[in-house]
Amino acid sequence: MSFITRFAPSPTGPLHLGHAFSALTAHDMACAEGGIFHLRIDDIDQSRARAQWEDQIYDDLAWLGLDWPRPVRRQSDHLPEYRAALDRLTAKGLTFPCRCTRRAIEEAAANAPQEGGTEFGPDGRIYPGTCRNRSMDTATPEDVIRLDMARAVDLPGPAAFTETGPEHAGTHSLDPQDLIQTVGDVVLARRGMGASYHLSVVVDDAAQAITHVVRGADLFTATRIHVLLQRLLDLPTPVYHHHRLIRDESGKRLAKRDDARAIATYRAEGKTPQDIRRMVGLPAS
């Protein structure tokens, strides 16, 4: 069985213990399977990406003992590929331009609460549909582009994915009604950005022939979006493995701003890579 996985950090801050756990878990799994571990730089959001953080990522991961094939894929080098994927979805009549501000979305949602669904999905507040009937011909550079979920879920045949992570192991089928009510019209492209995270991650995983996506449990609910986009774009669906999250003493998930737990801080304090493995609960290598 081939096993190709990746670790895909965004260079928007220092890597912390949660990133170390994610990268080491994916790397260990690839080693155990005689597979390949890719590093990918998720710098689609150029307003937040910084070269300084990208350099620090290479440095911290090498220090941890990881290695990966070069050249590294960087999203900012592949904008035409995301554009082409977006164009394919548009050609299928599955996209619409949206000019709603966050505030307008809040107000519309408050005035017309959805029946049976949730208020928030993996992509934030469920979009109330204000711009859904706009045609793509009316799109301006200020608009975001959304997926028309009700149309998108009209697939020929069932869609499912396999999860091997500890919390949700098994086969998960996509439920059209559930996608409409608890995910909604997700954003595919943002102002000033070629593509949203959801669209770019799907294109990247296919371009790198990723067979196993290993990432944090916080992205489990977004996986349905990715599997749906893979179906719509005729791309293969990898196996997914969502690992536990590393939390601080109060149970909160670590964030980029948790500089205190940055790998660079531990390095400066004289900790070793084996210390880091121990701190995140991984066996010595």
Min. distance of Cβ 160 from ligand GLU in angstroms? 19
Q: Is 148 in the site for ligand GLU (CB under 6 A)?
A: no
The reply to whether omega before 238 is within 30° of 0 (cis) is no
Looking at the Cβ atoms of 8 and 263, the one nearer to ligand GLU is: 8
Min. distance of Cβ 214 from ligand GLU in angstroms? 8
Task: From residue 208, give the alpha-carbon distance in Å to each of 183, 189, 212, 255.
Answer: 27, 21, 11, 27
DSSP-assigned letter for residue 95: E
Report the 10 Å Cβ neighbour count for 38: 20
Q: Is 152 in the site for ligand GLU (CB under 6 A)?
A: no
Min. distance of Cβ 68 from ligand GLU in angstroms? 14
Q: Is 9 in the site for ligand GLU (CB under 6 A)?
A: yes
Q: Is 261 in the site for ligand GLU (CB under 6 A)?
A: no
Angle at 18 between CA 282 and CA 21, to 5 degrees: 30
Looking at the Cβ atoms of 215 and 277, the one nearer to ligand GLU is: 215
| Residue least distant from ligand GLU (Cβ) | 42
Q: Is 15 in the site for ligand GLU (CB under 6 A)?
A: no
Looking at the Cβ atoms of 9 and 129, the one nearer to ligand GLU is: 9
Q: What is the dihedral of CA 185, 147, 144, 226, to 10 degrees?
A: 90
What is residue 142's three-state secondary structure? Answer: coil
Report the 10 Å Cβ neighbour count for 138: 11
Looking at the Cβ atoms of 10 and 182, the one nearer to ligand GLU is: 10
Q: Is 43 in the site for ligand GLU (CB under 6 A)?
A: no
Task: From residue 2, give the alpha-carbon distance in Å to each of 28, 37, 114, 204, 210.
Answer: 15, 12, 44, 18, 10
Min. distance of Cβ 109 from ligand GLU in angstroms? 26
Among 3, 8, 13, 165, binds ligand GLU (CB under 6 A): 8
Interacting residues with ligand GLU between 65 and 84 (CB under 6 A): none
- Exposed / middle / buried, residue 168 (Cβ in 10 Å: 0-12, 13-18, 19+): middle
Looking at the Cβ atoms of 13 and 129, the one nearer to ligand GLU is: 13
Q: What is the dihedral of CA 42, 208, 244, 249, to 10 degrees?
A: -30
Interaction pattern, residues 195-234, with ligand GLU; x per rule: CB under 6 A:
------x-------------x---x---------------
Q: 93 — alpha (psi -120 to 50), left (phi > 0) or beta?
A: left
Of the candidate spans 3-11, 150-158, 167-175, 265-273, the one that interacts with ligand GLU by CB under 6 A turns out to be 3-11
Q: Which positions touch ligand GLU (CB under 6 A)?
A: 8-10, 42, 201, 215, 219
